[in-house]
Amino acid sequence: MGGGALSPETACARKALTQVARDLGWSILAARTPMANDRIGNPALASRLRKALRGDVLFDAFDRGRYSTDASIYQIEPIGVALPKGVEDIEAAIAIAREEGFPVIARGGGSSQNGQTLGEALVMDTSRYMNEVLEIDTAAGTATVQPGIVLDELNRKLKGTGWYYPVDVSTSANATIGGMTGNNSAGTRSIKYGIMVHNVLEIEAVLADGSRVLFGEVPDDADGAPRRLAELIEAMRALYRNNAEEIALRVPRLLRKVGGYNLETLGEPRQNLAKLLVGSEGTLGFFTRIKLKLHRIPKHRVGAICHFARFYDAMDTTRFIVELGPSAVELVDRTMLDLARQIATFRATIERYVKGSPEALLLVEFAGDEQAPLLASLDRLEQMLGDHGRLGDLVHRGLRGAARRPGGVHRPAHPSLPQARHRGHLVRARLRRVPPRPPHPQHEGGIRREEDARHRRGGVLHRPGVQGLALGRARRRAQPLRVPRENVRRAPGARVRGGQGRVRSPRAAQSREDRARSEDG
């Protein structure tokens, strides 16, 4: 890591925050400190963990290679991997980590594109065994789940109850509730239902000191709370009391913030410490149980696909659309459309709903229990687009059940499109949720310049070897993810191509040989 020396003010602030974290026992779970290489795959450590845990302990080169990557472009080899079967396994692993001085990283579906689940640490994957729904309370509209349950699986189990969990991230087929909680995930419908911090009621977590604490709404009188929780309540109240003005000054007023902890929630009238853990990326505790706020499934949904000849026009129009009260507004740019057209599974959907060759689409959804207001909202949308001279092609979607997701493009497309290949390089195309805020005047010039560049050169972001990444996100050449040759376990007949860790199964190898023979014949 490069960079100059820290300023005295920054160094002092970092030291103070570090000390507070140590005092609270929140200091070890995801520290990304350099480790001695002899920790990686250490057989003695693996043996000790196997004796202490009921779940699987995976320390061989192949498994470390598998867990050295996620949906991001990064690759970091872990010390080893553990698949806990319960809270006791997590407590035992953290106790060993505390004693031997190595970090622990919680992992769910590995669907984030920023590398949060990677590090030279013991990676604990909860998606294998800790993936159950513990309780559904239809009267209160809540569900209590283990951290490893996948969002789509949760909603499948809620089917028939009249409730669902609406924080519908585009990676819902892979993303776990624990990972979404740690990331403070949003989703297409966040403008109506909020994001994770608004829909998590309680979190049970194991802290670095081994304490198991249930975080939730703080009672006015904390004297009756368990000792460790009472200490944390008092410490957080003091933290907010001493820094309220600074927090109000520094914390941006945005729907979703990814630059630090949700400290502003400490000043809410009904304080809930679970909100402080949401978005903490596993640095404050290892989540073992999460209580969620559910929402009623609306009886009807209608949608429209708004076409735009210019990317900027689509971005600018969102500020008018959100005033109509939609349940979702999502942007799809030309790169995503072009990638979808190249994949047979999605080509029919694109041809059916996309008219011509727009630079961008806005997928707009209205939801509710009555049909008439929804149809009226579509009429207002059409009128608004006409008033601004941007009517173009407006494709309506049907009522009730025609589209759980507006436009029907992003969710099925996501597993393939973000990893499409362009000129031999792995491209990470980002799905974008349009923020319900008018663009800042200073941003208009940048968007226009980027739009002009796209028209001149035919892409979203133009750097050598990169196409299809979100604006301002790509700072390096996109490369295929690789596992070193020595980390790949080969089954009989399997091949490794070019030493880049692309594993070919015996069946795939045989099919290539059959094709070669048929071509020769």
pLDDT, one tens digit per residue, over 229-249 is: 999 999 999 999 999 999 999
Instruction: Sketch out the chain's domains with CATH numbers.
Output: 22-125 (3.30.43.10), 133-296 (3.30.465.10), 300-457 (3.30.70.2190), 490-520 (no CATH)
What pLDDT is stored for residue 187 in this prediction? 86
pLDDT at position 252, please? 85
CA distances from 286 to 53, 280, 366, 426 (A): 16, 10, 37, 32
Kindly tell me if the per-residue pLDDT of 112 is higher than 50. yes
* pLDDT band for position 49 (cuts 50, 70, 90): very high
Cα–Cα nearest to 178, from 273, 97, 285, 80: 285
% of the chain with per-residue pLDDT over 70: 68
- Token pair for residue 101? 């001085």
The two tokens of residue 513 are 């040989």
* pLDDT attached to residue 397: 57
Q: CA 138, 144, 201 angle in degrees (round to 5)?
A: 90
- Model confidence over 155-165: pLDDT tens digits? 999 999 999 99
Name the residue among 262, 202, 210, 191 with its Cα closest to residue 94.
210
Nearest-angstrom CA–CA distance, 313 and 336: 17
Cβ atoms of 78 and 37 within 8 Å: the answer is no
**pLDDT at residue 169 is higher than 80:** yes
Instruction: Decide if pLDDT at 72 tops 50.
Output: yes
Is the pTM higher than 0.75? The answer reads: no
> Considering only 78-82, 276-280, 467-471, which range has the smallest mean pLDDT?
467-471
Q: What is the pLDDT of residue 419?
A: 44
Residue 374 CA, chain-centre distance (Å), reads 30
Please state the rounded mean pLDDT for residues 40-66.
Answer: 96
With 80 as the cut, is the pLDDT of residue 23 above it? no
Q: pLDDT averaged over the chain?
A: 77
